[in-house]
Amino acid sequence: MVSAESRIDEIHYDDYAEGEEEVSGVEDYDISTAPNDFNVSTMYNFIKSGVLVIPGFQRNYVWDVRRASKLVESLIIGLPVPQIFLYEAARNQFHVIDGQQRLMSLYYFREQRFPRMEARADLRRIFAEQGHIPDEVLRDDKYFTNFRLSLPARVSGIPNKLHGLDYESLGDDQLQFDLRTVRNVIIRQNSPKGDDSSVYEIFSRLNSGGVNLSTQEIRSSVFHSGFYDTLMRINYADGWRHILHDTVPDLRLKDVELLLRMFAILIDIDNYGSSMSKFLDGFSEKCKSNTKEENQYLEEFFRAFLNSTAHLPNNAFLNKVNNRVNIALIEAVFSATCRQKYLEGGLAEGKVELEELRTLETDEAFVEATQRATTRKDNVQNRLDRGYALVSPL
Q: What is the 3-state secondary structure (H, E, C) of 49-71?
A: HCCEECHHHHCCCCCCHHHHHHH
The residues near 23 (Cβ < 8 Å, ≥ 6 apart) are none
For range 372-386, the mean pLDDT:
92
What is the pLDDT confidence band of residue 10, given thresholds at 50, 70 and 90?
very low
pLDDT value for 90: 80
pLDDT value for 198: 63
Q: Tell me which of 110-119, 207-216, 359-368 is least confident.
A: 207-216
Nearest to 132 by CA among 46, 39, 250, 223: 46
Q: Tell me which of 4-8, 60-64, 147-151 is least confident.
A: 4-8
Average pLDDT of the chain?
A: 85
pLDDT at 73 > cutoff 90: yes
pLDDT at 330 > cutoff 90: yes
The residues near 129 (Cβ < 8 Å, ≥ 6 apart) are 229, 232, 233
Which residue type sits at 4? Answer: A
What is the pLDDT confidence band of residue 58, given thresholds at 50, 70 and 90?
very low
DSSP reduced 3-state for 6: helix
- β-partners of residue 325 are 8, 318
Q: What is the 3-state secondary structure (H, E, C) of 352-373?
A: CCHHHHHHHHHCHHHHHCCCCC
pLDDT value for 28: 66
DSSP reduced 3-state for 186: strand
273-327 confidence digits (pLDDT tens): 878 988 999 999 999 999 999 999 999 999 999 999 999 998 999 988 888 899 9
End-to-end CA gap in the chain:
31
List, as one string, the DSSP characters of 61-115. P---HHHHHHHHHHHHHT-----EEEEEEETTEEEEEE-HHHHHHHHHHHHTEEE
Which residue type sits at 229? Answer: D
pLDDT value for 21: 35
pLDDT value for 373: 84
pLDDT at 51 > cutoff 50: yes
- β-partners of residue 93 are 90
* Model pTM score: 0.66
Q: Tell me which of 5-9, 142-146, 199-203, 360-364 is least confident.
A: 5-9
pLDDT value for 127: 72
